[in-house]
Structure 1
Amino acid sequence: MTIMSRRGLLGAATAGAAVSMLPGQGARAAAPFRNDQAPAWHRFRWGEFEATVVSDGYLPLGKPQDSFVGPGANQIPTLLTNEFLDPGAATLEQNALVLNTGRQLILFDTGMGESMGADSKMWGPTTGRLLQNMRAAGIEPEQIDMVIATHAHCDHIWALVDGDGRRVFPNAQVAINEADVKFWTDDGNKKGPAFMATFVEGAKKNLGAYRDRLVMVRDGQEVVPGITGVFAPGHTIGHTVYFITSQGRTLVNSGDLAHHQVLLLRYPMMEFSFDTDPKQSARTRSRMLDRLASDRHEVLSYHFPWPGLGHVRREGEGFAWVPSPTNVTTL
């Protein structure tokens, strides 16, 4: 029997490796680019409830200074650069929540949808993905018992109906603040910024299809057991956040209380150009962020980085966002 030395073994291994890398030899490691992503949904338990965050896709706003103005706006490039974000572009997520209470299946906000044709893609092709991501999560629109809207803007209710005006959620009621319904279905409010006319037409089409199924949300009262609406006006006249409580734990669905996890937390009095009343919105935001920091409740923010779950803490003269870890073994 021949015994090969350690040096000989190493030499043989090296030679073998060299041979396998010759052109036309060995395994083919190259593969085509996939250019796709996994469906965007995240599921977790909240007390006795089961919650699923579903993405409607991201919403690119463009130059930050076009949307974020007022106190602190001169700090925008520095703030974004320090957080390793593009100082020339603001990008928002759209994190819708589906809550299974054991009795009802409830969707909070609907995303952009396709009801308004080309206007539904006013921010490009990356929105309007709620339904496909819901279905990937095993949820069909026919199963939704109630849609709870934080407010009546395009990216929150325009998927209530399809392009032909048919109900996307045929078995659902729609819960929303009455002041928002009246304001956004009133042709008299088409004046002002150019987007107002489109927003009003979209609200009329989408809410009108559910006129016999509307549930009016009242400040401080339960919409259904475990879900309480709390008015947070300014972004719209009837903007509402929702406190979701089960087994002593509270998750706050903050809707559009703040659109950006850096800009509007570090400078809560900064204004957002799509606010109905920017100054009232800033006051509401500052007050509610202070409450969230004090209560230490977990927060689901519609527009913060996916999946929008985290906590608010005080930092300097403002606040900071602390994302929650998302662990696939929590169920």
Structure 2
Amino acid sequence: MLNRRLLLGASAALPFLPPGVAEARAPFRNTTPAAWYRFKVGDFEATVVSDGRLPLGAIQPAFPTSSPDEVSALMRDHFLPPDSATLEQNALVVNTGRHLVLFDTGMGESMGEQSKMFGPTTGKLLQNLRAAGIEPGQIDVVCATHAHCDHVWALVNRRGQRVFPNARVAISEADLRFWTDDGNKRGPEFMKVFIDGAKKNLSAYRDRMIMVRDGQEVVPGVTAFAAPGHTVGHHVYAVRSGNETLVNTGDLAHHQVLLLRKPAWEFAFDTDPKQSAQTRSRMLDRFATDRERILSYHFPWPGIGHVSREGDGYEWMPSPMNLTSVS
């Protein structure tokens, strides 16, 4: 226990600042540092690059069939705001030694003001890529998990020019067809702008598309697996090198609490919410059973970890960053 007299004596000995003497004040730095993180998957070098934070806003509209009280309670129990949610955007880059593969592109600026529909904190991918020492021209494959705005809208710039001039784009034929079809501009209000954005971004790569198929390699070491529901052709990608595997799960689950603890809950941005819930439950069970390391696009930075069973759902177990980094 500290001696009370010692503390009092020490405080009495401290000098007082005379009037008019400036204190060591500094301005607040309202800037975000470059966000990238490098680690290994077997012999492959992997880098997670942030596209910035994506504010989802009010939670309840995103989970329309769930009890508002249960949603709020789950958030509070995990020390999160009960009335709003913010998602990360963790884009993975894998250098296999033969290929430099980017998984999803973030929001970009291709759709002008519409690219800021979730606020000004998105669209940071290119600056963070460069901060990590990666130039867009070095990317030779872009693997899209699906064709939503926060995953493919940085394929082109505002003028419709390719951002990744040397890249082929891997995506499912089902998603390519669905999200470039004007006939699907129905239902939720966001469908029109999502389709317009997908058409603009994907059409620029029409002559260099790779149609991904369930269980097939895109490039050596990267295999696509169908995970439909969030979109008609949503895929996840397994990155394998040596005895190590990392599964990029895309939008299999958007929130590390709500959709892990309650994998059967429906999410408003799913094309087929019921199919999405079934796919999510099936794949989370596999990841927990096989103890596979995953990277989730929207989980807390940098999105790397494992899922373990917890009651009727799952718990997110983030990997310690110092255990996955490059030495």
TM-score interval, smaller chain: over 0.9
Matching residue of 1:18: 15
CA distance in 1, matches of 2:263, 2:190: 24
How high is the TM-score relative to the length of structure 2?
A: 0.94
CA distance in 2, matches of 1:238, 1:155: 16
Matches within 5 A, 1:188-227: 188-227=183-222
CA distance in 2, matches of 1:197, 1:32: 43
Give the one of 257, 260, 265 matched to 2:260.
Answer: 265
Secondary structure at the counterpart of residue 102 of structure 1: coil
* Residue 29 of structure 1, CA deviation: 2.4
Matching residue of 2:125: 130
Unaligned runs of 5+ in 1: 1-11
CA distance in 1, matches of 2:69, 2:60: 9
CA distance in 2, matches of 1:275, 1:218: 21
Give the one of 293, 317, 321 matched to 2:312.
Answer: 317
Matching residue of 2:291: 296
Give the one of 100, 105, 108 matched to 2:100.
Answer: 105
CA distance in 1, matches of 2:12, 2:56: 56
Matching residue of 1:43: 38
Is residue 94–residue 303 contact of structure 1 (8 Å, CA) maintained in 2?
A: yes
Is residue 71–residue 269 contact of structure 1 (8 Å, CA) maintained in 2?
A: no
What residue identity is the alignment partner of 1:313? Answer: S
Unaligned runs of 5+ in 2: 1-8
Secondary structure at the counterpart of residue 103 of structure 1: coil
What residue identity is the alignment partner of 2:238? Answer: F
* Residue 45 of structure 1, CA deviation: 1.2
Q: Could you list the per-position Cα deviations for residues 2-35 of structure 1 after superposition, in whole angstroms to 9, with x for gaps in the alignment?
A: xxxxxxxxxx99887426x33455x852222222
What residue identity is the alignment partner of 1:315? Answer: E
The Cα RMSD (Å) is 1.9
Is residue 68–residue 273 contact of structure 1 (8 Å, CA) maintained in 2?
A: yes
Matches within 5 A, 1:269-284: 269-284=264-279
What residue identity is the alignment partner of 2:319? Answer: S
Cα–Cα, structure 1 residues 47 and 17, in superposed 2: closer, same or farther, change >3 Å?
A: same
CA distance in 2, matches of 1:97, 1:149: 11
Worse-superposed segment, 226-235 or 66-75: 66-75
Q: Tell whether 2:134 aligns with 1:147.
A: no
Identical-residue share of aligned pairs (%): 67
Secondary structure at the counterpart of residue 292 of structure 1: helix
CA distance in 2, matches of 1:260, 1:266: 10
Larger radius of gyration between Structure 1 and Structure 2? 1
CA distance in 2, matches of 1:71, 1:65: 8
Is residue 151–residue 236 contact of structure 1 (8 Å, CA) maintained in 2?
A: yes
Q: How many residues align?
A: 320
